[in-house]
Structure 1
Amino acid sequence: MTTNPEHSGSDLAEPYLGGLLASLGLNVHYHRARKDTLYYRDETGREVAVLDLVGGYGSTVLGHNHPALVAHARQLLDQGVPVHAQFSRHPYANDLAQRVNAILRREFGDVGEYSAIFANSGAEAVEIAVKHAELDRVAKVADLMAEIDGNIEKARAALAGGARVPADETLDRLTVARAAPPDAVLDAVTRANAERAAAAPVFLAPEGSFHGKLVGSVQLTHNAGFRTPFQSLAARCRFVPVREPDALAEAIDAERGTLFDVAVDGDAVRVVERDLPVICAFILEPVQGEAGIRPFDRETVERVQRVCAAVDLPIIVDEVQSGMGRTGTFFASSQVGLLGDYYTLAKSLGGGIAKAAMTLVRKSRYRDEFELVHSSTFAKDAFSTLIAARTVDLLEADGGAVYALAAERGARLLAMLNGLRDEFPTVVADVRGVGLMIGMEFRDQSGSAAGFIAEQARDGLLGYALSGYLLRAHALRVLPTASATDTLRLEPSVFITDGEIDRVEAGLRALLTALRDGDEAAIAPG
């Protein structure tokens, strides 16, 4: 391998990460890519082909440099398609939104229309959904406050006509004396509501969630190492063990907020409480990618939707990694009936060529004013959006042949991996996934006879160490999931061949044999 010494002087581009890659044997510079193969040059200048199972963390469902997309990109550039034509008409963006809406209707039924907001990355698409959901919540709170203000004015008129304020336990919760003058009670209602309405929102997400590492999205990511250094910068998220039957309902009840209102009832003005929208949204991935490739089941999804619907809590479905056909349908959520108020798409939306993302918002919740308070310089440009549209065309071609291929290739990979699990039960803890989004989880190796492996396991770097071995010894590019580093992810393109799957099997069998036997010499870097 080569560390690619193409410059002199200090490493300034993320130097710590570069050193970590070197220590794990992953510091390779790839200079060429095609389908599921990446190429680098070794110390002698010989080109080495590596089978890529990382797939851009799910970004290359159609492989690297798909010829139809490369040709389309060249055509667009040759035409001089503008990238910077902001605040103008973008008909191609509307065309893409219409196509994706048609897919939604096919996979979910008559669900109405979804408006589209464009972005550059998955984390940004998530932040758009979060921002829109908060704009919607704030507007609802403002409407509720205005309604209560009107009720207070009606109450003042009733009190002037001789009505009274009955003393009851609601006044105790308002922290006003039961014998307080009526006007003092109404003033206390106004003060209490102003304080409560200004409370920061709360988001709900399943334990294990990963939704990005930007200021807002990182707070929706369960991994404390990513989240806690920045927890004071964004809204709080409560993580819920949603596979437990009552957990979500209990979390919603625990975060419940109220405002005080007044109601004129004959000659009485009563203080009552009304629900305050404190929880902004519930966000989840249909397949939790960075938590170790963990799909949600239909029963859990149905319970989530039922509980959220009961309190009008919007659901954000993060399809950034699982969408675009990787699991055998365009939306992985459609396989378990997970209907969202928001959908986020990215990664493979750009076909492995462009950086493209979009957020879909159910029209019944859509706030037009969001388009004036949110913008992005590079979002919705002609190049990336037209590449995304061509990608969708390729996915939809021949009756969705790509989806069927993803399901078939995924089943082939799963069968092979399950065979290895059965062959090495003391090493492999689990194999799970949907379509071409698969994880292989290893048993705890902190007690391994191989000192190097035991050390890496204790440091939380096991998956990276195993990836270094597979790259060095078998020219296989695999990486662990971000928050479950004992799980290797496999996310190749739909074009992975039987022969390549056989290569994966041979490399993994050698790795599992070395782990089982504690063969440190085989696994540790030379």
Structure 2
Amino acid sequence: MTTEFPELAEAHLGGLLDQLGLAVPYSRASGDTLYFVDDTGAEVAVDDFVGGYGSLIFGHHHPTLTRLLHDLLERQVPVHAQFSRHPYANDLAAALNRVLHREFGIAEPYRAIFANTGAEAAECALKHAEMERGQRVAALIAEIDTHLDDARAAAAAGAGLPGDAATARLGAFTGVDGLIAAVRQHNTAQLARGPVFLTLENSFHGKLAASVQLTHNPAYRLPFRTLAAPARFVPVDRPGAVAKAVEAERVTVFDLESGDGAVRLVERDLPVIAAFFAEPVQGEGGIRPLDAALAAEIRQAAEAGGFPVVVDEIQTGVGRTGTFFAGAQAGLLGDYVLLAKSIGGGLVKNAVLLVRDSRYQPEFELVHSSTFAKDALSCHIGLAVVDLLEADGGQAYRTVRERGDALRAALDGAAEANADVVAEVRGRGLMQGLEFRDQTDAPAGVVRDFARNGLFGYMVAGRLLRAHRIRVFPTASAPHTLRFQPSLAVTDEAIARLVTGLTDVCALIRANDPTLLTG
């Protein structure tokens, strides 16, 4: 087809896909299979182990969900009915609460804020956490202001003021009014500091202006570092690192206590940390499950510091790891929970931020909105997804665990047979990763070249697609790790074909064979 325009839709990326052999225009999808039409007009099937980056727990075009979508369209349910009641959204929120309560053994309700994508849900969490932090700061300052007034009254009644040793950091002042002015000046300077967010090394929480600051990969984060509040990245393999990171961000303000005939200068912790973000399994960081001991450290630090834990279940949630919430396996209960991807059933865009009722800021609903969020299509599909997972006593979760075990056993076997090329297999349920050994110091050739420019995993993906009709991709921030996120209907035959393809790839890597790129 000719056109008067050059390619305008991400042409630079298209050129890279051409180079890697990944520029395939898929024409049809069903289950765990994508199809394209080759040069002869024949339809070619491709095993899809990408699964929409974890969005397809039920595969492409699940018949129950597809029929429901057709029915919803035929019934002309509203997509654009903003600023009205949405009972279907409330039904989905209630269903998510029932599952959350069961898996974590709690009773407190979680309020729901709807969005379109995982990155948008992360932005909602960032904004809500900062609003919540602002309330904590305002309450602290109001309390201090009351104490300053009390100190003025106490001094007028003859109470002694703190001595020079206690007030050395305030500088010179005269009398109680000078002391109060010095306290206010110090506190105003401290209050000018913005919030800080904590998250883990290898984290990924989106690529929007604020959420990208919580994504560890500097290639994504640093070009936009001036646009939003910064994050501090906590090591995942150092006991005590969470507490150390919290202490490093400690900021204090001054307060005055009055009593027993004296006014005393005291320090109060200023709420600086807005939230701690964590993934139960780090997806783009290389499919790395969260250690239970680290999860406990995060929860303990948050409770001591008064800030919320945001559990990012965008990839891991909705049954992906064998429970609805992967945090239940990691032992990490979130004050906020992010859901997206598979909650849309592979057909619609949907995302949800769940916020613990005791932390929820009702006024957030008036300062945040989203045109396409909370519509009837996405909410009805989301509720059907939950119903499918919960049906027959949670049979779907058992299937995920069984199919995940089969996939893991096959990958472990491939890794063991190619231990000189494969470093590790890791993951949970139907979220598995295979990490190749670092090839940046391989002998000169295509393997080393692509490893050094960060495209090693995409080169491998191109080979698997061209030679074996298998679709996989590396994780975004760990290009030596391939991800495997098929649906719960993935077959033994597809898994066997995957192992055959991986065995071929390992042989070509071992031989530094240029066929990896050109064959």
The corresponding residue for 2:196 is: 202
Tell me the SS of whatever aligns to 1:16: helix
CA contact (8 A) 2:243 2:297 kept: no
* Corresponding position of 1:117: 113
Residue 289 (structure 1) aligned with residue 294 (structure 2): no
CA contact (8 A) 1:164 1:182 kept: no
Mapping of residues 60-139 of structure 1, within 5 Å: 60-139=56-135
* Alpha-carbon contact 1:450-1:520 (below 8 Å) kept: no
Q: Distance in 1 between matches of 2:342 and 2:492?
A: 23
Query: What is the Cα deviation at residue 196 of structure 1?
Result: 1.4
Correspondent of 1:162 among 150, 158, 161: 158
SS of 1:232's equivalent? coil
User: Percent identical across equivalent pairs?
Assistant: 55
2:136 aligned with 1:140: yes
Instruction: Indicate if the aligned counterparts of 1:450 and 1:519 stay in contact, CA closer than 8 A.
Output: no
1:509 corresponds in structure 2 to: 503
Structure 1 residue 463: deviation in Å?
0.2
What's the counterpart of residue 236 of structure 1?
A: 230
Aligned to 2:293: 299
Shift of 1:390: 0.8
1:189-218 residue CA offsets vs partner (Å, 9 max, x unmatched):
112222212310000001000000001100
SS in 1 for 2:268: strand
SS at match of 2:359: coil
Report Cα offsets for 1:143-169 as digits up to 9, x if no partner.
111111111111112222222312144
Counterpart contact for 2:454–2:479, Cα < 8 Å:
yes
**Whole-Å Cα distance in 2 between the matches of residues 19 and 44 of structure 1?**
23
Cα distance, 1:251 vs structure 2? 0.8
The residue that corresponds to 1:525 in the other structure is 518
1:313 offset after TM fit, Å?
Answer: 2.3
User: Could you say which residue in structure 2 is the equivalent of 1:433?
Assistant: 427
Classify 1:452/1:242 alpha carbon distance in 2 versus 1 (closer, same or farther; 3 Å). closer
Q: Could you tell me the TM-score, scaled by structure 2's length?
A: 0.98
Change (3 A) 1:182 1:64: same
Q: Secondary structure at the match of 2:131?
A: helix
Instruction: Give the structure 1 partner of residue 216 of structure 2.
Output: 222
DSSP-derived class of the 1:61 partner: coil
**Are residues 1:400 and 2:422 paired?**
no
2:277·2:312 contact (CA, 8 Å) conserved in 1? Answer: yes
- Which residue pairs with 2:28 in the alignment? 32
Aligned-pair CA distance for 1:495: 0.5
Could you tell me how far apart the structure 2 residues matched to 1:84 and 1:515 are? 52
CA drift at 1:171: 1.2
Q: CA deviation at 1:448?
A: 3.4
Deviations 1:5-31 (A, max 9, x none): 675631111111011111111111111
Per-residue displacement from partner, 1:21-70 (whole Å, max 9, x unpaired)? 11111111111100000011112221111100000000001000111111
Please tell me the residue identity of whatever aligns with 1:484: A
* Paired residue secondary structure (1:51): strand
Candidates 266, 280, 293, aligned match of 2:260: 266
SS at match of 1:473: helix
Distance change >3 Å, CA 167–CA 6, structure 1 → 2: farther
Any unmatched runs of 5+ in structure 1? none
Deviations 1:61-111 (A, max 9, x none): 100011111110010000011111001000111111111100011101024
Partner of 2:52: 56
Note if contact 1:315-1:342 (Cα within 8 Å) is conserved in structure 2: yes
| 1:459 alignment partner in structure 2 | 453
Q: Distance in 2 between matches of 1:360 and 1:172?
A: 46
Distance 2:116 2:165 in 1: 52
Q: Deviations over 1:170-189 (max 9, x none)?
A: 41223x22x63321110111
Once the 2 structures are TM-superposed, how far is the Cα of residue 511 of structure 1 from its aligned partner?
0.9
- 1:399 to 1:243, Cα distance in 2 relative to 1, 3 A: same
Contact kept? 2:446, 2:513, Cα under 8 Å:
no
User: Which sits farther off after the overlay, 188-197 or 390-399?
Assistant: 188-197
Structure 1 residue identity aligned to 2:518: P
Residue 286 of structure 1 aligns with an amino acid whose one-letter code is P
- SS of 1:124's partner is helix
Structure 1 pair 7–473 and aligned structure 2 pair: CA distance change class (3 A)? farther
Separation (CA, whole Å) in 2 of partners of 1:166 and 1:112:
45
Partner in structure 1 of residue 378 of structure 2 = 384
Indicate the residue corresponding to 1:422 in structure 2.
416
Amino acid at match of 1:91: P
Worse-matched range after superposition: 80-89 or 150-159: 150-159
Structure 2 unmatched ranges of 5 or more: none
Tell me, in whole angstroms, the C-alpha distance in 2 between the residues paired with 1:329 and 1:362.
20
Equivalent residue runs for 1:178-197 within 5 Å: 180-197=174-191
Report SS of the residue matched to 2:354: strand
Q: 1:308 offset after TM fit, Å?
A: 2.0
Q: Which residue of 2 aligns with 1:150?
A: 146
Give distance in 2, aligned partners of 1:305 and 1:402. Answer: 29
Work out the CA distance in 1 between the residues paired with 2:435 and 2:116.
Answer: 32
Within 2, Cα distance between the matches of 1:26 and 1:72? Answer: 33
Residue 118 of structure 2 contacts residue 206 of structure 2 at CA under 8 Å; is this kept in 1?
A: yes
The answer on whether the counterparts of 2:446 and 2:512 sit within 8 Å (CA) in structure 1 is: no
CA RMSD of aligned residues (A): 1.3
How many Å apart are 1:409 and its aligned residue? 0.7
Question: Partner of 1:278 in structure 2?
Answer: 272
2:8 corresponds to: 12
Is the deviation greater in 56-65 or in 42-51?
42-51
Q: CA deviation at 1:113?
A: 0.8
The amino acid of 1:441's aligned partner reads E
| Contact 2:155–2:176 (CA under 8 A) maintained in structure 1 | yes
Question: 1:129: Cα distance to partner?
Answer: 1.1
Distance 1:283 1:6 in 2: 48
Q: CA deviation at 1:449?
A: 4.4
- Distance change (3 Å), C-alpha of 1:6 and 1:206: farther
What SS class does the counterpart of residue 524 from structure 1 fall into?
Answer: helix
* Secondary structure class of the residue paired with 1:503: helix
The count of residues paired between Structure 1 and Structure 2 equals 519
Contact kept? 2:292, 2:330, Cα under 8 Å: yes
Q: Is the 8 A contact 2:200 2:234 kept in 1?
A: yes
